[in-house]
Every structure is written in C-alpha cells, then in structure tokens.
Structure 1
Amino acid sequence: MTRVVLLGASPGPDTSPTGLRLAALPGNPTVAERLRSQLTSMDPRLATIESGDVAAALRALADVAEAATENLFIIPENSVVHDELIYQITKAKRGALALVAKEPRPEVTEEAQEAQEDVVPIDEAEPEIGLGRLEGLPVRSRVGKSRVVSVGTARHAVTRPNAILLGPLHVSARNAPVLAQTCRELAAMADTFGEDDDLVQLIVFGLVRNGVSVGIRGRRDLFYRRVTTQEEVNEAGAEMAGMDEDRARLNNAVKGADGFFTTYFVSTYSRFIARWAARRGLTPNQVTLISIALGVAAAACFATGDRPWMVLGGVLIYFAFVFDCVDGQVARYARKFGVLGAWLDATFDRFKEYVVFAGLAIGWVVSGNSDDIWILALAAIGLQSVRHLLDFSFGVANRRKPPSPLPTLALDAPDDRALRQALTRRKVERSQGLRGVLKMWTKAGKFRAVHWARKMIVFPIGERFAAIAITAALFDARITFITLVIWGSVAAAYTLTGRLMRSLV
C-alpha cells in the first residue's frame, strides 16, 4: 500500500483546473475525477492538502508523513498523467524519486559552440537565482545523471540550474520521518520563499539539503503535464491520447539489466508472447509450468544420447529459457505478483538446470561412454550451487547495509556553494583506494563492449542455457560440462573478487 497525497496549486491563489474536462479521453472526465480514479486503487483514503498557505500546507504534509507507515506518493492535483508512469514511479526502489524535465540543449551551431566556449566550468560558476521557466515552472534545480544535486528557490541560489521538478514525488517509508522534519523546518521559514516557488520544488529543496538522495527519472515515452487552463487541458488530452501507453507498459515489462543473450536473442520478441499470454488470461505461474515442462522434456531428449534428440534438446532448453523470461514479463505487464510465483520461479530455475545436467550425464553413459562424466556433472552442479548461495547471502547482507550519507546544508544558507564543495570532497574521497578502483571499473561500463563483457563474464542464466543448448547440440555432454565448469569458475572468481572489494569499502 502507498500513502497518496494530493497537493493543491503552487503557492498563491488556488487555480487548479480540477473541474475542467478532458474531452479527448473516454467518458469526458474532469482532471480531478481522472486523477482520483487513477490513485484510489493505491490509497482509497487520499490525503488532500490545500496549498494556498505554504506554511499550513507544509505542516499538513508533515502530519501525513509522521503518521505514514508506508511509502508516500505526492502529486499536484492538476496533473494529467499516464497510469503506467504512476506505476513506474511508485515501484521504484530509490529512497526518494522525483519526475524531472531537463532544459533542452541548444542546437549545435557555430554560434552555440562559441557561446559554450565562453561559459565557465561548473566548478567555477557562481550560484544564481534561476529566472528561466520551462512548462510554466521556474528552472531552479540542478540534476546530475541519477539524482538531484541541488535545488534553489526565489531566495536561495543554485549553481547552474538545468531542470524543473515536474510534480510527482515518491518517498520511501524509511525517509518519511526526514520528510516530516523537513516540512516543519520549511514551514517555519515560509515567509522567505517567493510567490513563484513551487511546493514540490520546496519539498525537494529541503530533502536534498537534509541529506536525502533524491533520484530522478524523465517522462521517456509516457505523458505527464500540469494544466491550468482549458486550452492546456485540451492539448494534454489530445497528446496523451496519441501516445501508445500499452507499448510503454510492454517495454517496461522487460528487465533493463538483463544479460547479452537475453537482451538480443530473447527479449526482442518474448515481450509480445507475454502480452499475448496476459490478454488470454494466462497467469505467470502457468507460464512457469510451461517452462518447467520444456526443461524436463529437454533433459529427456539429452538422456537418449542420440544426435537428433540432442539437437532437439538444445532447442527445447532454449525455449524453456524463453518462457522463463516470459513468466516474469507477464507478471510485470499484467501486474500479477505473488510470493508463490517468485518462489516457483527461483526454485524451478535451479531445478530445470540440474535436471538437464542429469539428462546430459545419463545420455553420455547410455551412448556407451565412461561414467566418469558424473564427476563433471557434480562439479557443475556444486559450482552453480555455491554461486547461488553467494548471490543470495551477499544480496541479504547488502540490503542491510545503510546507504552512504550525503552532505547536508542548512536550509537558510543563501546558496548551495558549501553543499557542492562538500560533494566534491566526498567524490574525491570515494575515488581513492578500493573505492577508486570500483568507481573506475563502473565508469568503464559506458563503453558498450565493456558493458556487455561484464554482463557475460558473470555467466548469467541466459548465457548458461545458451551454452548448454549450443554445446549439447553441436558437440557432446563432456564439452558442455567442461564449458560450464570453466566459465562458471571464471564467473565465480570475478564475482567473489568484486563482492569482497565492495564489502571492504
């Protein structure tokens, strides 16, 4: 469950067009009716905060945050937004996440290049009060690649602002106490803010200065806009109706961190199988059972030891993996999640793998070869079991590790100079020793070849199933097990080294 907070208009008179209608959408709903219908399933007792009085609004939000035991989703009530964008923001695992829009970059012309040459580096830039506007909001935020670096107000300067905070803000339950404290501190200094300071901007201003890491995301291929006039409502409705929300939802059903083989040889089409299955009422657990059946059938084919059956086994184990991807994609597309499904998926991934190992070993012996193959089979099973144990234990330990604290800055500090200096010192400190090595290796991932090499070296399940399918179909079980043991050993050494280094920093 998520606690939903609807904010009124920005500081000043309440001009939210909640009674204006979205004529381009089915049912001709008002802005307020549509937004409330989107959010009621998340929280049937929506908290609504009027924001004409900034101090009162901040204190009311502080009360909500103090009482909350779940994550909070804060959104202005004059928002027109896709359901899928709300879903993606609220399912983010960041401690806090804001929807942002960056200022568009100037076109690369000779004049623009000359102007850019005259701009001083950001480390030497003077903080400023952002006077630019984008989508009706003041450009007073500085965002980096993954988070909000600094936020200003009409009275607080920020170094080279480059973005606006569009409105939706998700705050995890663990940061709710900080949000409450921040809102009370902001309420006490409400008279120092300007008339054009947006309420969401002020909240993020306080969170960032109090050391909360506020992640960022853009709209990408989804729609969000704040509206204040009927003309804007009409434009928003028409633009949103012209966008393919279902395609965005389907693309989001595919995990973004998959391996090379999964990305290029499975996910290119498996998402369409997932949509087909979801629309016909198939559940993720039923798709998991199909994957298990294909895995067992592949093992039975391998157990014959005959070349035609070995080739068929390779094909079947490939499609067993395809449906192993599809079950998760169905769950994300149809939003059908459950403890049983997660347990089945994790458990029977191992079952399929190990039953195929057994089938390969049996086929080798049935073909008249030595039963020494079982040594290789057990080595492959043991190695993979140890790797899974290490993955699980490190994941549990890593979740218990508190996040690295960010520098803080007094809310009444007139600019963000001290905060940026503290962030620079932190960056230098984290670039030394083991941290520096890890950071350098992380940066190397921006090169595509290095990125995919790192994905493949850890020998994820997609690469393992591909190795089994190819070597079993073209060669024999002995080659398959040797490949699994050698590649798995390299992967285990690489992973263990990285995790030891991360545990020591």
Structure 2
Amino acid sequence: MTRVVLLGSPPGPIGSPLPGGQRVPATDISLASQPGAPTVYGRLLEQLTALDPQPTTIARPGDAPAYRAHAGQVVESRDLAGDLRALADVAEGATENMLIMPADSMAHDELIYQLTKAKRAAIALIVLDPESAAEEPSPGEARPEIGGEVLEGLPMRTRVGLGRVISVGTAYHAVTRPNAALLGPLHLHLRHTALLAETARELADLAHLFGPEDDVTELLVLGLVRRGVSVGLYERAGEFYARVRDQREADEAQVAMAGYDEDRVRLDNAVKGADGFFTTFFVSTYSRFIARWAARRGMTPNQVTLISIALGLLSAGAFATGTRWGAVAGAVLIYFAFVFDCVDGQVARYARKFGVLGAWLDATFDRFKEYAVFVGLAAGATVSGRFGDGEGVWTLALVALALQSGRHLLDFSFGAANRRKPPAPLPTLELKVADDVKLREELERRSAVKRGGVGGLLKLWTDAGRFRSVHWARKMIVFPIGERFAAIAITAALFDPRVTFLTLLIWGGVAAIYTLTGRLLRSLA
C-alpha cells in the first residue's frame, strides 16, 4: 500500500491570469468524454483506490465540503503554511511509502504506476525545457535567478541534471540556469517520510517568503534537495499528464488524452530498457506482443517460464542427437526458449503480476537451461562420433560451465556488496539561503575530485556511452544471456559443438576480464 496525499489548493498563476477568470476546484470540473462523466477529482480517486482507498486531501475551507462528498479524509487549510503543516502531520504518521499529487491532475494509470514502482527512494515528475543545454555549467557561467519562464503553466525554476534534481527555486530562492518545471507528483520511500515532515514544518515557518505561484510539491522538493536527498526524475514517456484549472483546460486535456495509446505505452514499459543488443533488436521487437496476447488470455508469468524451460530442455535433447538436423532444431528451440524467457518478465510487467516464486524460477532456470544445453551439445558430439570419444568436447563444456558459473558468482556477490555500500552523501544547504551558489560550488568540487585518477577514467568511459556504437559495444562485450544464447544457436547450427564451446570460452573470457576490471576500478574509485 501507499499513503496518498492530494493537494486541493493549487498555486496561483505566475504570469497572466486564466482567460476565463478564476480557477475552478477539481471537484467541479467534469470529464464528459470519460466513462460515467466523472469530475477530475473523482476520476483521480478511482485511479488511486488500489494504492490508498482513503487518501488525505488538503483543501481550503470553502472547497472542503465538495471534497468531503468523496471517499477519504479532508484536512482544511487556510494558506500555504497550513498546507505544509497538514502534510507534515500525514508524513509523521505514515507507515508506507507516500505519493503526493495535485488534486487537479489528469493522468494515465500507467504514469501513476511507473511513479510508484520506481526504484528511486524519491522521484518527481518533471517537464524539461527542450531549449536548455543538457551539460552542467560551472557556477561562474551564470548568476542565480528567480526565473519568470513558464512550462505548462508552472514556473520553470528547477535545475536538473545527472539524473536528479540539482536545485529548486521559489519566489525567494534563486536558481542557476533553471531548465525544468516540477509538474506536481512526488513519490517518497518510507525512509524519507520523517525527513519530509521535518522539512515541511521548516518550510511552513518560511511561508511568508514565498509567492502565490509557489507549489507545495515544488517547496517539498526544494527542502529535500537542500537536506541532501537525491530526488530522481521521471519524464513522461508517452504517458499523459496535465493539471487543469478550469473546464476549458479540462476539455482540451480530454481531447489531447484521447490521442494517446496508453496500452501501447504500457506494453513498451513492459520491456526492460537495459536489455542487450540481441534482445533489443532480435527479440523485444515482437516478444512484447506475445506477452500482451498471453496476458490477455490469463496466462501467468510462471506458466510462460515453464514453456521456456520446456523449450530449453527440448533444445538440449535435439543437440544430443548429434545430427545436423538436430543441431538446427536445437538452435531454433534455444532461440525461442530465450524469447519466452523474455516474455515471462514482460507478462509480469504488463499484467503487473509479480511474485517471489516467479523471480526465483526465472533466475534459477535461466542457468539450468543454459547448462542443460551444454550437456546436450557435448553428448551430441560424443554420439556423432566425429570427435572420437568426445572427451575433448566434454572438457570444453566443463570449462565453459565453470567460467559461466564463476561469472554468475561474481555478478551476484558484487551486486550484494553494492547494495550494502551507502551512497556518497550529497551536499546540503540551509533553507534560508536565498541562492544555490554554495550548493553548486560543492557539487562542482565533488565533480572535480571525481574527474581525477580512477574516477576520471571511469567517467570518461561512462561519457563515451553517449555514442550509439560505444553504447552497444559495451552491451555486447559483457556477453549477456541474449548474446550467449545467440552464439550457441548460430555456431551450433552452422558449425559444430567444439566451435560453440570455443566461442563461449573466448567471448566469455573477454567479458570476465572486462567486468572484473571495471568492478575493481569502481571499488577503488
């Protein structure tokens, strides 16, 4: 479960007022094109029911009766300081993660899901200024400013970079080269809720410094960043999100939302973004559609995993025949075993069905299929009689198995060690300081330190990943499972088991040296 807080008091306009006059509460804005013609607020509550059936809404006294007509608790607040203190009260009593959203939000279900399932302990929805430079400037390149630019009706007073929020501005706090606006939704892990409550109270005491255009979530992100919390970024990737201030904007938003294919976005999100070259271009281009077909027919990820296991065992059996047609059939079967290995995860993400058993089956039987195929190839070499008694091929198979097992052991142990390693603390800055110069100077100093020695070498290699050819070369050199299964299928079908094992050993050895070197360097940096 997730503790949901809805903000019923949106900020005032930063520039010209609304064309139609005053802002209309989300409870009074109807969505005629949606099933049942709900209000903006009513639709949002329906979307959030699975997260929190009794959300807390913070609203002005005049709007509170309309909000009370719906499910959940309503807390009245007369001003921005009251909003912050009410939110602090909720955060102090939270026993789950928190999702904070404006009550005037129109959003796809998929966007809400992606925000709440993100791995970052704190993440905010942003819109990036397309004209802003992506590179991080040094403090001397520009002076902090209280910008008057607007993105989607909200002040562009946020600086983002390096995958997180770097600095946030208000009517009082100046920011160096702002390049984004905070749209409103903010998701926090439970471990940050106590700090959020403390920060919100401190911000409430400074409320007299802020302007009517300053949003509650904008202030919260300001406080968290200045307390050293890494607030990650979420940009809309085909999902729809908008804040509507009156009926005209809601009507426009409904038309815009109708132009989005949310199911296609959900399907695209079911594919892991960090997949290897072979998986990306030769499997995921169509496996997602198999996943959707399977999910719509009620198949579970575990059932798909069993299909993958069966195909892997059939592949091993085909290789074990020692015939040319057996080798071709085994190559085709091992390819589709890998396809369904990808499909099971895509079904889980598309249908949102996750379980400990499924994760264990997937991780364990990937190795089982691979090693079964090793045995099948070696057995086939013996049966064929082309390699004498096959002892040499069996030796290659055992060495390949040992190499791959060693690589898996290193992967898991390094991952476990990384999880135990605390992240480097970010610089902090008092909320009363009116600009971000000291914050950015400290970030620049840290960056300069990292640019020297081992850290500098790693940074150069990381930056080189911006080039597409280098990016995919790095993906392939580590010899991930997709490339391994492709190498097995191609070499076994075109050549013989000895060539297959030599390919696995040479490529696997290069991958082991590359990954071990990288991990040693990261441990020393």
Alignment TM class, shorter chain as reference: over 0.9
CA distance in 2, matches of 1:272, 1:148: 35
Partner of 1:289: 306
Give the residue type in structure 2 aligned to 1:377: A
What is the alpha-carbon distance in structure 1 between the residues aligned to residue 422 and residue 27 of structure 2? 41
One of 475, 486, 489 as aligned partner of 2:509? 489
| Deviation (angstroms), 1:504 | 2.2
Q: Distance in 2 between matches of 1:30 and 1:124?
A: 47
1:89 aligned onto 2:115: yes
AA partner of residue 365 (structure 2):
F
User: Which residue number corresponds to residue 30 of structure 2?
Assistant: 21
Aligned mates of 1:52, 1:502 — CA distance in 2: 51
Following superposition, the deviation at residue 499 of structure 1 comes to: 1.2
C-alpha deviation, 1:174, in angstroms: 2.1
Q: 2:53 aligns with which of 44, 58, 75?
A: 44
Matches of 1:272 and 1:136, distance apart in 2: 37
Pairing of 1:416-431 with structure 2 (within 5 A): 416-431=436-451
TM-score (norm. length: structure 1): 0.95
Match of 2:98 among 64, 72, 88: 72
Given residue 496 of structure 2, which amino acid in structure 1 is its aligned partner? D
Q: Structure 1, residues 26-63: CA drift from partner, whole Å, max 9, x if none?
A: 21111111100111101122122235421222122222
Read off the aligned partner of 1:152 and give its amino acid letter. Answer: G
Aligned to 2:7: 7
Contact 2:23-2:245 at 8 Å conserved across structures: no
Residue 41 of structure 1 aligns to which amino acid in structure 2?
A
- Residue 179 of structure 2 corresponds to 162
Count of matched residue pairs: 493
Please give the secondary structure, in 1, of the residue aligned with 2:391: coil
Asked if structure 2 preserves the Cα contact closer than 8 Å seen for 1:3 and 1:70, the reply is: yes
8 A Cα contact 1:140 1:153, kept in partner: yes
Which residue number in structure 2 is paired with residue 102 of structure 1? 128
The correspondence for 2:371, drawn from 354, 358, 370, is 354
The answer as to whether partners of 1:8 and 1:14 remain within 8 angstroms in 2 is: no
Q: Does 1:146 align with 2:163?
A: yes
Deviates more, 1:452-461 or 1:425-434: 425-434
Q: 2:140 aligns with which of 123, 135, 145?
A: 123
Give the equivalent residue in structure 2 for 1:328.
345
Q: Distance in 2 between matches of 1:40 and 1:358?
A: 51
Question: Tell me, what secondary structure is at the counterpart of 2:476?
Answer: helix
**Whole-Å separation in 1 of the counterparts to 2:23 and 2:85:** 18
CA positional deviation for 1:312: 0.8
How far the C-alpha of 1:201 sits from its partner, in A, is 0.9
1:461 aligns with one of 457, 481, 490: 481
Tell me if structure 2 keeps the 8 A contact 1:147–1:214: yes
* Offset from partner CA, 1:75-104 (integer Å, 9 cap, x none): 001100000000111111112111111234
Which residue number in structure 1 is paired with residue 331 of structure 2?
Answer: 314
Per the alignment, residue 444 of structure 1 pairs with 464
Q: In the alignment, residue 134 of structure 1 is paired with which amino acid? A: L
Select between 5-14 and 303-312 the one with higher mean Cα deviation: 5-14
Identical-pair percentage:
68
Say if 2:8 and 2:26, in contact at 8 Å, map to a contact too: no
- CA distance in structure 2 between the partners assigned to 1:15 and 1:7 by the alignment: 14
Return the alpha-carbon distance in structure 1 between the equivalents of residues 500 and 105 of structure 2. 56
Deviation at 1:486, TM superposition (A): 1.4
Contact 2:139 2:437 in 1 (8 A): no
After superposition, give the CA deviation of every residue in 1:362-384 in whole Å (9 maximum; x if it has no partner): 00011112322211111111111
Q: 1:351 deviation in Å?
A: 0.6
Q: Which residue of 1 aligns with 2:417?
A: 397
Task: Note the aligned Cα RMSD (angstroms).
Answer: 1.7
5+ unaligned residues in a row in structure 2: which ranges? 13-21, 60-76
Unaligned stretches of 5+ residues in structure 1:
107-115
Determine if contact 2:11/2:213 at 8 Å carries over to the other structure.
yes
Mapped to 1, the partners of 2:11 and 2:314 lie a distance apart of 65
Bigger drift between 353-362 and 219-228 goes to 219-228
Shift of residue 17, structure 1, vs aligned partner: 2.2
CA shift, 1:14, in A, is 8.1
Partner of 2:201: 184
Single out whichever of 32-41 and 122-131 deviates more from structure 2.
Answer: 122-131
Separation in 1 of the partners of 2:8 and 2:222? 18
User: Counterpart of 1:269 in structure 2: which amino acid?
Assistant: Y
Secondary structure of 1:336's aligned partner = coil
Counterpart residue type for residue 372 of structure 1 = G
Q: Secondary structure at the match of 2:253?
A: helix
Shift of 1:407: 0.9
| 1:199-214 correspondence runs (5 A) | 199-214=216-231
CA distance in 2, matches of 1:18, 1:315: 57
Q: For 2:503 and 2:80, how far apart are their aligned partners in 1? A: 65
- The residue number in structure 2 matching 1:385 is 405
Q: Provide the residue aligned with 2:18 in structure 1.
A: none
> Hey, what does 1:34 align to over in structure 2?
43
Aligned to 1:269: 286
Q: Aligned equivalents of 1:205 and 1:322: distance in 2?
A: 45
| Further displaced range: 60-69 or 194-203 | 60-69
Deviations 1:286-307 (A, max 9, x none): 1111111110110000000000
**Structure 2 length normalisation: TM-score?**
0.91
**Does the CA contact (< 8 Å) of 2:23 and 2:246 recur in 1?**
no
> Structure 1 residue 121: deviation in Å?
7.8
Q: What per-residue deviation string (whole Å, max 9, x for no partner) do you get for residues 338-388 of structure 1? A: 111111111110110010000000000111123222111111111111111
